[in-house]
Structures are given as C-alpha cells and as structure tokens.
Amino acid sequence: MSSTPASLVLFGIAVAAYTLAVVAFVLHLAFRKRILGDIGMALVLVGWPLHFASILTRALEAGHWPLGNMYEYSTGIAFVIVTVCVVLMVRARMRLIGLPAMIVTVALMGVAYMLYVPPGQLVPALHSYWLTIHVSSMATSSAILSFSFFFGMAYLARRWADNRVLAVAAPAVVPATVSSGGVASMTMGSGGGTGGGFAGTGGRRPVAMWLQRVFPSAGALDSWSYRFVMIGFPIWTFGVICGAIWGEHAWGRYWGWDPKETFAFVTWVIFAIYLHARVTYGWKEKRAAIITAFGFAAILFTLYAVNLWIAGLHSYARA
C-alpha cells in the first residue's frame, strides 16, 4: 500500500490551521477581543509556510510546475489569497480581512481535495514554458481580484449600517396639525410605541452600530476594492494575452472561442466595465461593489464550471 505523499500531508495540516483561523476570526468578530484576532493571524502565519511547502513538495513529486490540474490550480489560487491576506494583516493591520479570505481559502482547498489526483506527468498539451507564465498569471489575478469582491461586500455592509443608523437617529417630523382647540400639535417619529415613521428599525440599529464599530469607513472600503481591481485587472489581461500566444503555439490559432477562452474574456469585460464606468461615469461605491460581485462569480464560473462541466480544449485541466 502506497504511503500518502508528503505534499498531501502538508496540505491537510495547512487546511486545519486555516479552519481554526476561521473560528478565531468569527469569535473575534463576535466579541471584539484583540487576542482572538491575533490568534487567527497566528494560525494563518502557521498555515502559510506549510501551504507553501505543500506546493513545493508537490512540484518535486510531480517533476513539473504544480499548476497542471484542478487540484494544483485551486491550491495555487488559495495560496495567493493567503499571501495577500498576510500582507494586509501584517502591514495594514486588517485582522478582519482574514475572515472572508480564510473562508474562501478553505473552500478552495476543500474543492481541491475533492479533485485530487496523485502527482504525475503533464498531458502533452501542457509541456510548455507558457504553463508557468500563463497559468501563474491567471491564478494570481484570480486571487487578487477576489479581494476587490471582499472589500466591495464589506462596503455594502458598512453603507447599509450608516444609512440605518442615520435613519433611526434622524427624527421623523410630521407636519403640524391643528387640534380641535385650534392649537398646533407636532408628532415626532422618535416618540414611543410603533407609531413613528421608522417603526421596525429599532431592532436593526444595534446590528448597524455594531457594523460601524467593526468595519472601516465606507469610503475606505470602496477605495481598497478599487485598488485590488487596479492590481488584478492588468495581470488578468496579461494572462489572457499569454494564453492566446500559447494557443497559437499549441493549436495554430490565437483565439478560437473555446469555452475557457470565452469566459475568461467575459470576466475581463466585467472588470473592464468596472474601470470604465468608474473613471468615465463616476460609478463608485454601491454600483462598483455590485460589479465586483459579478466579477467574482465569473471567476469562479471560469475556474470550475467551464473546466468541469463544459467540454472544450481545456478539459484536460480536470485531471
């Protein structure tokens, strides 16, 4: 009976550390104890080198750059997400970014494990130096663009909280009415009971105030989301161009509207719309955050749905 590859053992330990980090970040979010955030970051810092060692040993076991199938590609994207997360937590002191980053990382590595194949030789189509350039670019940009989605969703949560607190705090003034005695009376929405203009919002106010304490300002979150699109989009563009060049070398054409090529282009268009609308028409904040959600969904669809369920020239990536 063959023994478990060292890369898979290291992979499992890294996943365990990341999973515990998710628990620590959830508790940190709930109780706002700094020590819990520090524990979460420490667990990420423990898992990160083990994750890197898993990828390195996989490369040595397989004898090639470890991005030749869905297992290797998924764990590669997860590693870049963790790397960016570590930079943000250490340099920018953003403990809470660890929660969405680790949730997505654990999910990606869980899918990677389900798609696991033992280390082996690459299929003939992948015997090219373009594997390192093209696939590394796509994995890196996928991870970086994911952070635009994380910050975009955080922006929407903070914006909702700001609007809710403002709505509850501002008294709803009902126009003066004349009583039967001819004396003007005024009803304030902040009065008791449920007769105020914001009935039913009181229960949501504690949640909104809690979100205000937890998250940075809405403007800062929107700015961070924009920064990651500005970083990730050029890398995605570079990866698509490299893929076209590789396609000409391998199949004799730069572009053939293969399903993977098509949806990579769709993803490119979504983020191009984001940048164009933001710069030209001033689409910031809410509309920009919604576009990042579509972009993130397109990345996942391009990564998994196209590779696993739609037949094409890239179908070899599933094994």
Q: What is the pLDDT of residues 88-109, one digit of tens each?
A: 999 988 989 999 999 999 999 9
Q: What is the CA radius of gyration of the chain?
A: 25
pLDDT at 138 over 70: yes
Check residues 57 and 313 and name the one with the higher pLDDT: 57
pLDDT at 307 over 70: yes
The rounded mean pLDDT for the chain is 86
Between CA 287 and CA 289 the distance in angstroms is 5
Strand partners, 184: 178
Looking at residue 85, its pLDDT comes to 97
Q: How confident is the model at residue 315 (pLDDT cuts 50, 70, 90)?
A: low
Q: Give the three-state DSSP class for 101.
A: helix
Looking at residue 308, its pLDDT comes to 81
pTM of the complete model = 0.86
C-alpha distances out from residue 276 to 55, 224, 273, 281, 283, Å = 37, 17, 5, 8, 9
Residue-level length of the chain: 319
CB 68 within 8 A of CB 62: yes
Question: What is the CB neighbour count within 10 angstroms for residue 19?
Answer: 17
User: What does the DSSP 8-state code read for residue 65?
Assistant: -
Amino acid identity at 187:
T
Beta strands in 95-193 (DSSP E): 173-178, 184-188
Looking at residue 186, its pLDDT comes to 32
Looking at residue 212, its pLDDT comes to 85
Q: What is the mean pLDDT of residues 254-258?
A: 86
Q: What is the mean pLDDT of residues 46-60?
A: 97
Between CA 285 and CA 146 the distance in angstroms is 17
Between CA 146 and CA 185 the distance in angstroms is 55
pLDDT at 30 over 70: yes
